[in-house]
Amino acid sequence: VTVTVDLVVFTIRAGGLHVLLVRRGQQPYLDELALPGGFLEPDQDDDLDATAARELAEETGLHASALHLEQLGAYSAADRDPRGRVVTIAFVGLVPQLPEPAAGGDANGALWTPIDPAAPGAGLPGSLAFDHDQILADGLARVQQQLEHTALAPAFCPPEFSLSELRQVYETVWGVPLDIANFRRKALGVDGFLLDTGRTRTDVGRPAKLYRRGPATQLHPPMPRPPVPHHHITDGEER
Amino acid sequence: VTVTVDLVVFTIRAGGLHVLLVRRGQQPYLDELALPGGFLEPDQDDDLDATAARELAEETGLHASALHLEQLGAYSAADRDPRGRVVTIAFVGLVPQLPEPAAGGDANGALWTPIDPAAPGAGLPGSLAFDHDQILADGLARVQQQLEHTALAPAFCPPEFSLSELRQVYETVWGVPLDIANFRRKALGVDGFLLDTGRTRTDVGRPAKLYRRGPATQLHPPMPRPPVPHHHITDGEER
DNA sequence: GCAAAAGTGTTCTCGGTACACCCATGG
DNA sequence: CCATGGGTGTACCGAGAACACTTTTGC
């Protein structure tokens, strides 16, 4: 049995949620879009997490420190890979900024692709190789849920960030607007979530205080996630 | 790379939480306790879920219908198995009643072992083979969390059950007492969680209405989980 | 009647929501 | 001074917690 690792790596660029995709450089699914990934090498001491971190570094140039990587699950349908029995362990990664991905490995290049948090798959230029559409959807759901319960949001931000930036993370990943005042109180009220650096930053308007991520990992009680507003059916994309 | 499946199967017997363990019938870890499990057969069409269901049926005699089985995660440390590179995918299973497990396969027999929901590992006669202590702890945490957010609790109950039985599931898995009145209102208030069968059952005291599990899968809002009361440090078992 | 368990009512409190309002900066 | 975003105050509402109380059975 062959074991691979696939990565669902999200970032926020230009106010929108993006996933890292590669265009496949070999069969099967040559030239189609897929999630970045690689093989678990049995002869090395890398476990799955190390393999995922290595792959991510290769694709994005980012080193494993200071970025979040977590296991999503195993995908094992017998016919998911035409080459034979391949089980893949999917990971979800979160990247703070907007570094251009580095091409390399068996991929012709990696690219940040915008996706709609309400409907992953919409906005994509077709479907992905293997069962990667499913993995992407599961990964998005995981991140959305983790934002509610864990102190994960700063992973999308630079080391120091304003409350607006943090709020935009939630709004972007969830696809809903939040109340500024209530978000502030909630975020600052959770013990150990945010640390006040003395600093402030001015872009436009009143200067904003800057925060660093605190030691807390869980959010008690959770960050409330508003019910998705009922879109009118804009076009297609229903189920 | 070899891929195996390990099972963390819980049930409630005699008012206590129990896990299914086997005594290993072969090297490595001969004669030690371990989680039941088996190999993913590359030549068959079974995916991991099917393999887990098959193993569970072999060990307990229970067929896959009407029992809950869900993926927990992959464990892949390079040195977790002395035979070489073995990645295992752990599953969590929930079994309703108290069927005696059937011995078979490569195990000398399977047994239900009581565990303390506050400290898995306490109460065990020593530690488990491989990294199964860790997997067991993760599995317990998963079930405890799932009870909060999903309509999983009836999986521990017979098809028809009273509210007391359901409440005892929560109390047993969480290891804390719940308020009878508030639990009742909460459980009945969640739309689609419980269906009223007309029937009642009398053991002692006033007859109780019986319910079946409804179509709901998520609990909105979650079943509130009380903070664990501070035990005085009874003895050891701290971290 | 009494014990035991099922089921109901009521009050208090706290967190979330909505929205009005004030503050600091750049132009 | 005004526009822009940062930050504070406050009144309302609903869910959860605690606990008193009533109902239905067996003995």
Q: What is the pLDDT of residue B122?
A: 80
d(CA A153, CA A144): 10
* Three-state secondary-structure class, residue A97: coil
Is a pLDDT exceeding 90 seen at residue B224? Answer: yes
The per-residue pLDDT for range A110-168, each reduced to its tens digit, is 889 999 999 888 877 779 999 999 999 999 999 999 999 999 999 999 999 999 999 99
Dihedral (Cα; B142, B147, B153, B156), 10-degree rounding:
30
Identity of the residue numbered B168: Q
The C-alpha of A88 sits at a distance from chain B's nearest C-alpha, in angstroms, of 10
Q: How far is CA B2 from CA A50, B87, B99, in A?
A: 18, 6, 32
Per CB distance under 8 Å, which residues of B are interface residues toward A? Answer: 1-3, 40, 42, 44-49, 71, 73-74, 76-78, 84-85, 87, 89
The residues with which A200 forms a beta bridge, in sequence order, are A209
Which chain B residues are within 8 Å of A44, Cβ to Cβ? 78
CB neighbour class for B206 (10 Å; exposed up to 12, middle 13-18, buried from 19): exposed
d(CA B176, CA B227): 8
Residues in chain B: 239
User: Cα A70–A76–A79 angle (5° rounding)?
Assistant: 140
What's the CA B193/C1' D23 distance, rounded, in angstroms?
26
The per-residue pLDDT for range B78-101, each reduced to its tens digit, is 999 999 999 999 999 999 976 666
Q: What is the pLDDT of residue B123?
A: 74
| Neighbour-count burial for B90-128, b at 16+ CB within 10 Å, e otherwise | bbbbbbbeeeebeeeeebeebbbbebebebbbeebeeeb
Q: What is the mean pLDDT of chain B?
A: 90
Report residue B35 as tokens. 């989680």
Between B102 and B172, where is the model more confident? B172
User: Cα B205–B207–B208 angle (5° rounding)?
Assistant: 115
The per-residue pLDDT for range B195-220, each reduced to its tens digit, is 999 999 999 999 999 999 999 999 99
For nucleotide D8, the protein residue with its alpha carbon nearest to C1' is A181
* Three-state secondary-structure class, residue B116: strand
Between B230 and A49, where is the model more confident? A49
Q: How far is CA A102 from CA A62, A90, B25, B67, B73, in A?
A: 10, 21, 50, 46, 30
Is a pLDDT exceeding 90 seen at residue B109? Answer: no
Residues of chain A with pLDDT below 50 are: 103-107, 233-239
Report residue B102 as tokens. 């059937």
What's the CA B236/C1' C23 distance, rounded, in angstroms?
55
Is a pLDDT exceeding 80 seen at residue B6? Answer: yes
Q: How far is CA A136 from the centre of its chain?
A: 9
- What number of other Cβ atoms are within 10 A of residue A16's Cβ? 14
